[in-house]
Structure 1
Amino acid sequence: MKHIYEAGSDPAAPVLLLLHGTGGTERDLLGIAQYIDSSASILSVRGNVLENGMPRFFRRIAEGVFDIEDLKFRTAELNEFIDQAAEQYGFDRKRVVAIGYSNGANIAASLLFHYQDALMGASLHHPMVPLRDIALPDLNSAQVFMAAGKNDPICPPQESEELRELLEGAGASVELLWENSGHQLTRSEVEAAKKWYEASFKQ
């Protein structure tokens, strides 16, 4: 997968896995990662799927309607890529924290839904429930931050609430931030994500 890897100055810090939104690239979230933890290593990935020329991490049938079989395939593909990257770059595979926005947040959530040890944590910005009717793995060690907009036309509030319930039901520790905003990534939610990250991983 097309990606950027930057080794950080703190070997004890998690590796930040950056997952862009629809139409984004592996460069989109670099500034946010730098703000959240300038000492962490970064693995930023570009989605392998194109929708009208726009990179995505998995196909969809319509807005808000996911191609579930492709989602499962692409989730496995991404998980395997992280395994390979850990070997190639020599980082601890068990210490990966995802930062995902929109489509990137959805595939990060899908990693949590499918693989117990794929992520030690995730900062999910405007995610939806990736898929339903699946038994989640034991997520007792997972730390999750979610940011949602009360006026989000793409991700209705009930999606965020349901995702939180599913993750907490599997044992994850979840912090959900609500803002009076839409689907855009806001500075205030990134600031909240930084506080969550520092409380979860920098103590």
Structure 2
Amino acid sequence: MTDHVFSETGGAPGAPLVFTFHGTGGDEHQFHDFPRQVLEGAHVISPRGDVSEHGALRYFRRKAEGVYDMDDLWTRAAAMAEFVEAAKARVGATRVVGLGYSNGANILAAVAMRAPHLFTDLALLHPLIPWDPDTQPGLDGARVLVTAGERDPICPAPLTRSFVGWLSAQGAKVDTLWHPGGHEIAQPEVQALAGFLADTPKPA
């Protein structure tokens, strides 16, 4: 199923397509305007999480803090992959960026694990991947930015470092940015994200 609620801003022909994924309690507007501040003319699509946790929007269910409903995660990742695939085909962009924060980073990572061909670039802000992913050779060569807080109580630093190691082992080109705080998005992360988006890859 591909009937996600989403916000969309059309872009210039040939411009990058950016998907943004909000954190728990956010919505499709949380990051929607940011990509075009960095990439003039970008096409931006921001799907809304369709799970409510005590009124807070999320992309998949969890059983407790840091304990995911894995069946629900993979079911919803499959549906999101269909949504991204259809939107990508409709727009026709060759550079496709995924940008996600917290729960949004987690669904984005799960989609990329399932369908790595959908994205050329992944910006994962404070991801939490509390399982050992299977190998995914399709991520070889993907550009990835991971940002995190050294004292993040929601996304423990050791798990983030383990995930970064997994991405590197798949052949992804990973950059990381750490700040000394917690789960909040710090200004250095914003700067790193802007630089990552603006650094248009050169053709091979």
Kindly state the Cα deviation for residue 83 of structure 1 after the two structures are TM-superposed: 1.8
> Does structure 2 conserve the Cα–Cα contact (< 8 Å) formed by 1:115 and 1:137?
no
Match of 1:50 in 2: 52
Q: RMSD between aligned alpha carbons?
A: 1.8
Which deviates more from structure 2 when the two are superposed, residues 70-79 or residues 122-131?
A: 122-131
The equivalent residue for 1:76 is: 78
Aligned positions, number: 200
Q: Partner of 2:7 in structure 1?
A: 4
Percentage of pairs with the same residue: 36
Distance (whole Å) between structure 2 residues aligned to residue 86 and residue 114 of structure 1: 16
Matched, 1:194 2:194: yes
Give 2:6's aligned amino acid. Answer: H
Separation in 1, partners of 2:92, 2:129: 28
- The 8 Å contact of residues 35 and 197 in structure 2, kept in 1 or not, is answered as no
Q: Secondary structure at the match of 1:148?
A: strand
1:11-48, Cα deviation, whole Å (9 max, x unpaired): 33321100000011100102322333232100101011
Instruction: Report SS of the residue matched to 1:128.
Output: coil
Structure 2 unaligned regions, length at least 5: none
Residue 200 of structure 1: how far off its partner (Å): 4.3
User: What is the identity, as a one-letter code, of the residue corresponding to 2:174?
Assistant: V
Query: Structure 2 vs 1, CA of residues 110 and 133 (structure 1 numbering), >3 Å: closer, same or farther?
Result: closer
The one of 24, 38, 41 aligned to 1:39: 41
In 2, the alpha carbon distance for the partners of 1:148 and 1:115 equals 24
**Which segments of structure 1 move beyond 6 Å, counting only runs of 4 or more?**
none
Residue type of the partner of 1:6? Answer: T
Stretches of structure 1 lacking an aligned partner (at least 5 in a row): none
Shift of 1:130: 5.7
| Distance in 1 of aligned mates of 2:38 and 2:136 | 28
The answer as to whether partners of 1:94 and 1:119 remain within 8 angstroms in 2 is no
